Amino acid sequence: MFKTFRERPGVQPDSYTDFSFGGRVKKSRNVNVENLSGKAVYEHEVEIVERKGVGHPDSICDAVMEDISIALSREYLSRFGRVLHHNIDKGLLIAGEVEHRFGGGMVTEPMRLIIGDRATFEFEGERVAVDTIAVDTAKMWIRDNLKFVDPERDFEFDVEIKPGSPELTDIFRREQQSGILAANDTSAAVGYAPLSPTERMVLGTEHYLNSSGFKELFPASGTDVKVMGYRTGKNLSLTIAMPLVDRFIDSIEAYFEKKAEILESTTEYANGRRGEDFENIYVYFNTLDDPTRGMDGIYTSVTGTSAEDADSGEVGRGNRVNGVIALNRPMGTEAAAGKNPVSHVGKIYTVLSHRIANEVYSAVEGVKEVYIWLCSQIGQPIDEPKIASAQLILEPGVNIEKVNSLVKEVIDLELANINSFTTDLAEGKYRVW
């Protein structure tokens, strides 16, 4: 019934024995496994899922702050051999102003990005150009991801990063012999697996609308895509908001022609992936439009993002680390983007809980759905959470006693390999929005 670690792809055969034997003592961790009664999410009558695309103001904040953390981690590692204290998780994007016109409008007041919060500016007598790294990284991300935005002209940057407090900074000097850092906070996180068919469809639809292939077919489509999925039974409604860039639109008629083409293409995409999960998929696109109201009745954009004049953004208000906002699921309150990847458990556990959930679901047959809860205690090693809990919804006929030990083994393995995980996190191998 059950797979072993050695049968799982991507896991080294000796990854468990490395820390169990060979002179090391296996740690005794507080791990709990319980059986949840009730239905899996995809069996609920109603399910609601949201996804904010790359050009959404909240996604911009998450993505930029995370890239700054990665850039700082890279700088610290290259110069000092370790990631130093930083948390760049206080980002605010203030909308600018534009003038919309058929054939192409213009930005009249730039967007403003405020970048905070704490970082290490000096170590062992050497200065680190934190502010320069932050602004250069933000500009690079904007150039790479927002095609119609010029970061030199359309953005202003306000860096409000200050040195960290002595006690939190000192955590990075208290590294254990094993190389495990202490948790910098008492924090809790939850992750789950697998994604439901609704979650996969919402995530896939946004990825499709922001894919390079779609942008080649529909160059007028902006990057500020929002997809809201509402499922009742086996019927799914997808409501999509996405601006059309006004330089490609020369009239009301042209706007609605392009809108109809995009709606047809998106409907074809969704229904082509309907499978047995859905009986009907209904797609709605820019439903606020009113052809009788001229330019005021259509959703156009100069830059492809509503941050130009309509909507501000903030770190932590967008997608969860698995890419969706799933209202039927438990969610933690931590904003992972921009937090340091080696001691900030608000980030580490938020991402790791989803990873562990996926590992449990992949490794243990008979698990229909799994929720992983991790809670830290400030000052304790990050590989020893105060509690690690697995809540399982099992397939009919599967007994919790038979899966208990293997689930604990999966969790123990993941926590034992936490240094490898945080290294990957510091290198940006895990997307957090």
Amino acid at 241: A
Would you state the pLDDT for residue 173? Answer: 63
Claim to verify: residue 146 and residue 115 sit in the same structural domain: yes
State the Cα–Cα distance between residues 39 and 79, nearest whole angstrom.
51
pLDDT tier at 190, thresholds 50, 70, 90: very high
Tell me: do 241 and 309 sit in the same domain: yes
Please report, for the domain that includes residue 225, its CATH number: 3.30.300.340
Distance CA 143, CA 154 (A): 11
Residue 12 scores a pLDDT above 50: no
Coil, strand or helix at 28:
coil
User: 401, 31 in Cβ contact below 8 A?
Assistant: no
- Can you give the pLDDT at residue 176? 45
Summarised one tens digit per residue, pLDDT across range 87-105 is 999 999 999 999 999 999 9
Does residue 166 share a domain with residue 56?
A: yes
For residue 182, tell me if it sits in a domain: no
Residue 384 inside a domain? The answer is yes
Residues 249 and 273 in one domain: yes
Q: What is the domain count for the chain? A: 3
What is the pLDDT averaged over residues 153-176?
76
Predicted local distance difference test score (pLDDT) of residue 164: 76
Q: Do 31 and 58 lie in a common domain?
A: no
Do 230 and 293 have their domain in common?
yes
pLDDT band at 175 (very low <50, low <70, confident <90, very high): low
Tell me which of 166-180, 301-315, 366-380 is least confident: 166-180
Q: Is residue 46 situated within a structural domain?
A: no
Q: What is the pLDDT of residue 144?
A: 97
Torsion of CA 414, 417, 423, 424, to 10 degrees: -40
| Residues linked to residue 374 through DSSP beta bridges, in sequence order | 189, 388
Question: Sign of torsion, CA 116 118 342 27?
Answer: negative
Instruction: Confirm if 108 and 84 have CB atoms less than 8 A apart.
Output: no
Say if 44 falls within a structural domain. Answer: no
User: Are 203 and 226 within one domain?
Assistant: yes
Residue 294 tokens read as 């001229």
Question: Within this chain, do residues 306 and 332 fall inside the same structural domain, yes or no?
Answer: no
Which residue type occupies 75? E
Question: What percentage of the chain has pLDDT greater than the value 70?
Answer: 91
Domain boundary among 106, 140, 173: 173
Residue 119, domain CATH: 3.30.300.10
Predicted pLDDT at 27: 80
pLDDT higher than 50, residue 11: no
pLDDT in tens, 387-413: 999 999 999 999 999 999 999 999 999
Asked if residue 219 is part of any domain, the answer here is yes
In a domain? residue 348: yes
| CATH at residue 10 | 3.30.300.280
Q: Which residue has the higher pLDDT, 10 or 373?
A: 373
Range of the domain at 268: 197-314
**What does the alpha-carbon distance between residue 416 and residue 283 come to, in Å, rounded to a whole number?**
45
Name which residue leads in pLDDT, 395 or 168. Answer: 395
Domain match, 100 and 132 both:
yes
Residues 28 and 73 in one domain: no
In a domain, 389, yes or no: yes
Asked whether the predicted pLDDT for residue 383 surpasses 50, the reply is yes
Nearest to 193 by CA among 10, 362, 66, 46: 362
Same domain, 254 and 304: yes
Domain identity same for 102 and 165: yes
Q: Which residue, 314, 341, 358, sits at the end of a domain? A: 314
Of 299, 314, 329, the residue at which a domain comes to its end is: 314
Task: Dig out the tokens for 390 from the structure.
Answer: 């697995």
In three-state form (DSSP H/G/I as H, E/B as E, the rest C), the secondary structure along 374-413 is EECCCCCECCCCCEEEEEEEECCCCCHHHHHHHHHHHHHH
H-helix or E-strand spanning residue 118: strand 111-119
Is residue 47 in some structural domain? no
